[in-house]
Structure 1
Amino acid sequence: MRTLVSLAALALAPGMALADAHSSATPVEYGPRPAYLVDKLPEGDLKDKLASCMGQDAAKSDFSIGHRGAPLMFPEHTVQSNVAAARMGAGILECDVTFTADHELVCRHAQNDLHTTTNILVSDLAEKCTTGFTAASGDTPASAECRTSDITLAEFRTLTPKMDSADTTATTAEDYQGGVANWRTELYSDKADLMTHAESIELFKSLGAKFTPELKSPSVEMPHDGFSQEDYAQKLVDEYVAAGIPASDVWPQSFNLDDVLYWVENTPEFGKQAVYLVQWSDGFDEQNPETWAENFADLKAKGVNYLAPSLNMMLTNKEGEIAGSEYALAAKEAGLTLIAWTLERSGPLASGGGWYFQSVNDVVKDDSDYLVALDVLAQDVGVAGVFSDWPATVTYYANCMGL
């Protein structure tokens, strides 16, 4: 089985060139996708501007944030995914943080996603899963639930990461490993490496990137064997302090406002840049303040400076065009710094863009609307950064626009 790479191995890993990969040494390149998207834009000012930047020197930008690395094509939260994101110019990289049975912090999007993001169901650890594999039967899909809290860090290190997917028609655990969306790929999955949170810090530092860890909501009841939510939030910060990372380079995130306020009150240097994540929920209308759960003035008064709404909360259909929403503009007017998530997570946009674009589904036509949405977020809303599953697109835009 693949084992989690040690920090020493990170520096020596073939093809990664991490030993000397500091900010000035990490090469940045766009690849073909940004130009492909520019070519698809309709004629107009945006296309003219972005086309004029063809041939520009690619450079790292803090406006470009790697969402789980570059998971459009790489297994998320792996060394390889984040190296790819850094090479696309992402100036800030993300480790979604959860914990193991022995309360060690690791990078996973959810505490209970090991059954879709690793090979645990076909490993010797399958019997430790919260819910083992159940085969599909009739109209009932195949299912499983495997948590990082089901296993120790030592056991976590033995797992092999894969693209986040599951074949819910499967009748065997082996077949359940499939199901990768046809617009993603397994081309870059071979021999990928998982990371602890502490190892992600060392990797990102070696790549010259800054940090935006997200404290994930536990699937287990807290406190967990004496490990409280406050202990969890504090441990995340402590690992940056131990690594000598300045608080100004870290944007800790959480969907739990109590976590954000904990950082504001107990680790104020890190709390200054703590990010409160929010997402679209049933009944929300981006143009109707009566449907908004957040009181922007109250958040500011409590010391919250950063708000990160999902894309669908920040975009609206205005006379048949993608525009900034009243929600986003009101949050900005209240003095909150905005961060958007997540671009290029929806696959091809010809069918409307799904959940992330649900507020503008009627006007989304094709993949060039990724750039239209990005331009609205940057120019009309004034966001400070954009998460993307393929950071090259945001980097290209940021370089072209001088962001």
Structure 2
Amino acid sequence: MSARHRSALIAALGLLTATMSAMAQDMVMPREPQVGPRPFHLVDKMKDGPLKQQLSQCTGPFRKTDFSIGHRGAALEFPEHTKESYVAAARMGAGIIECDVTFTRDRELVCRHSQCDLHTTTNILTVPELAAKCSQAFSPADAASAKCCTSDITLAEFRRLTAKMDGFNADARTPEEYQNGTPRWRTDLYANSGTLMTHDESIALIRSLGAKFTPELKAPEVPMPFDGDYTQQKYASQMLDAYKKAGIPPSDVFAQSFNLADVLYWVKTEPEFAKHAVYLEERYEKQGLDPGKPETWKPSMAELKAQGVAILGPPIWTMLTLNDKGEIVPSEYAKAAKAAGLDLIGWSLERDGPLHKGGGFYHKSIRSAIDRDGDTLTVLDVLAKQVGIRAMFSDWPATTTFYASCMGMK
């Protein structure tokens, strides 16, 4: 190694160490996960029965577990994809933490759930010089709207923003009113100064927290190739290259995409990463997939497995149905996936809000059996024991950590 290359390597290592140190210096990490009162509240609200009795006797110890995935961190109460959200997820025992990955105008990777969600997840509309760059300016029409994308701004401009809880006020007359739209069942208590993260920063932080990684390659909302020659393949490679440059073992990375072509590209070009890649399910939206009708599963479970897909990531409702007694049981879709040798990772627990009216999207196939918040743990138990999921995304990882620890799961 030449002296010039050695100096460059030393400088890079020094920068990485400084970044991790700066991120960790104000964090107090407990020796064991802290699950707080919510899991116990959910147990108290369960229907009487053996599961409630078993969980009510569980008081710890609680352990970090790969079964518990921090969905956007801990998005129930912390601004998603922020330092604060990731740290909260780790404190609650999430063994894997998610960064949804998209790109800025200068092709730098950052953590956002959508390329074009800055108007609902950050303060961009109240920063006039950056709001002026949005794809669609704020409009106080009958249904107030705006559209601000990471691809509208550079990384340096992205760093000027602060995160907030995802939400908007459709009746707003001003940008400030528009951005004051947090759902009532979440909270703004921790949302005054959410720290946005680049993809590289998320890697350094999550590694310092002792967790694994699940980056999702978000679908571009701009035409690709972007800016002339930035293709989907370059974008997909860039995301995984960041883990290689950081020295992260492929076994610690669960790369995700809703685009099957992305996963198959990784199968071809990054076979070690592909062993843990997750094909996220949304064919119910795009091609009418029905969990009870195998003829609508195109490709079939066996075909997905043959193409190299290792892990399928469906929403909760596709994996569950009700039997003739009204009991929650695995769907034909879930049973077929397991029979084909596919691992399953579900999404997303604690995202429907209060369940006293049957829940929303995530519980829609079993809504008539859902009537209380405690059903969160009932659903999780069916998914873990009967469906056999490998892991569960949760907006409040304390719940999944609590359950896995009480059940003796890894």
Normalising TM by the smaller chain, what interval? over 0.9
The alignment status of 1:400 with 2:400, answered yes or no, reads: no
For the residues of structure 2 that align with 1:334 and 1:165, how far apart are their CA atoms?
Answer: 39
> Equivalent residue for 1:341?
347
Work out whether residues 356 and 370 of structure 2, in 8 Å CA contact, stay in contact via their aligned partners in 1.
yes
The alignment status of 1:222 with 2:227, answered yes or no, reads: no
SS at match of 2:386: helix
Letter in 1 for 2:189: L
Match of 2:66 among 58, 62, 67: 62
**What does 1:163-312 correspond to in 2, within 5 Å?**
163-225=165-227, 226-279=229-282, 280-281=284-285, 283-312=288-317
The alignment status of 1:357 with 2:360, answered yes or no, reads: no
- Equivalent pairs counted in the alignment come to 389
**Cα offset, 1:136, TM superposition:** 2.7
Deviation string 1:173-221 (CA, Å, 9 cap, x unpaired) is 1110111111000001122200000100000000000000000000000
Deviation string 1:59-87 (CA, Å, 9 cap, x unpaired) is 10000000000010000000000100000
Letter in 1 for 2:87: V
For the residues of structure 1 that align with 2:288 and 2:306, how far apart are their CA atoms?
Answer: 26
Indicate the RMSD between aligned Cα atoms, in angstroms.
1.5
The alignment status of 1:378 with 2:378, answered yes or no, reads: no
**What does 1:4-43 correspond to in 2, within 5 Å?**
8=18, 11-12=21-22, 16-17=26-27, 27-43=32-48
The alignment status of 1:135 with 2:140, answered yes or no, reads: yes
**Cα offset, 1:322, TM superposition:** 1.5
The alignment status of 1:317 with 2:327, answered yes or no, reads: no
- Is there any run of 5+ residues in structure 1 with no aligned partner, and where? 1-5
- The alignment-based identity, stated in percent, is 57
Normalised TM-score (structure 1): 0.94
**Cα offset, 1:9, TM superposition:** 5.9
Work out whether residues 183 and 347 of structure 1, in 8 Å CA contact, stay in contact via their aligned partners in 2.
yes
> Equivalent residue for 1:3?
none
Letter in 2 for 1:17: M
Work out whether residues 72 and 99 of structure 2, in 8 Å CA contact, stay in contact via their aligned partners in 1.
yes
Deviation string 1:11-37 (CA, Å, 9 cap, x unpaired) is 34587427xx6xxx6541110000001
Work out whether residues 7 and 199 of structure 1, in 8 Å CA contact, stay in contact via their aligned partners in 2.
no
SS at match of 1:178: coil
Work out whether residues 68 and 397 of structure 2, in 8 Å CA contact, stay in contact via their aligned partners in 1.
yes
Work out whether residues 294 and 300 of structure 2, in 8 Å CA contact, stay in contact via their aligned partners in 1.
no
Deviation string 1:291-348 (CA, Å, 9 cap, x unpaired) is 3334111111111110001111011112212111110111011000000000000000
- Is there any run of 5+ residues in structure 2 with no aligned partner, and where? 1-15
Letter in 2 for 1:229: Q
Letter in 2 for 1:105: L
Work out whether residues 164 and 193 of structure 2, in 8 Å CA contact, stay in contact via their aligned partners in 1.
no
> Equivalent residue for 2:12?
none
Match of 2:56 among 44, 51, 55: 51
Deviation string 1:128-175 (CA, Å, 9 cap, x unpaired) is 0000000033xxx00000000000000000001100010010011111
> Equivalent residue for 1:76?
80
Letter in 2 for 1:271: A
> Equivalent residue for 2:8?
none
SS at match of 1:346: coil
For the residues of structure 1 that align with 2:198 and 2:350, how far apart are their CA atoms?
Answer: 26
Letter in 1 for 2:137: G
> Equivalent residue for 2:116?
112
Letter in 2 for 1:387: F
SS at match of 1:63: strand
**Cα offset, 1:8, TM superposition:** 3.7
Normalised TM-score (structure 2): 0.92
SS at match of 2:344: strand
* Residues 1:248 and 1:47: Cα distance change in structure 2 (over 3 Å): same
For the residues of structure 1 that align with 2:55 and 2:296, how far apart are their CA atoms?
Answer: 36
* Residues 1:170 and 1:231: Cα distance change in structure 2 (over 3 Å): same
For the residues of structure 2 that align with 1:168 and 1:364, how far apart are their CA atoms?
Answer: 29
For the residues of structure 2 that align with 1:158 and 1:90, how far apart are their CA atoms?
Answer: 29
* Residues 1:177 and 1:26: Cα distance change in structure 2 (over 3 Å): farther
**Cα offset, 1:284, TM superposition:** 3.7
For the residues of structure 2 that align with 1:208 and 1:10, how far apart are their CA atoms?
Answer: 12
**TM superposition outliers: structure 1 runs of 4+ over 3 Å:** 6-10, 12-16
| 87-96 or 187-196, larger mean C-alpha shift | 187-196
Please identify which structure carries the higher helix content: 2
Work out whether residues 16 and 83 of structure 1, in 8 Å CA contact, stay in contact via their aligned partners in 2.
no
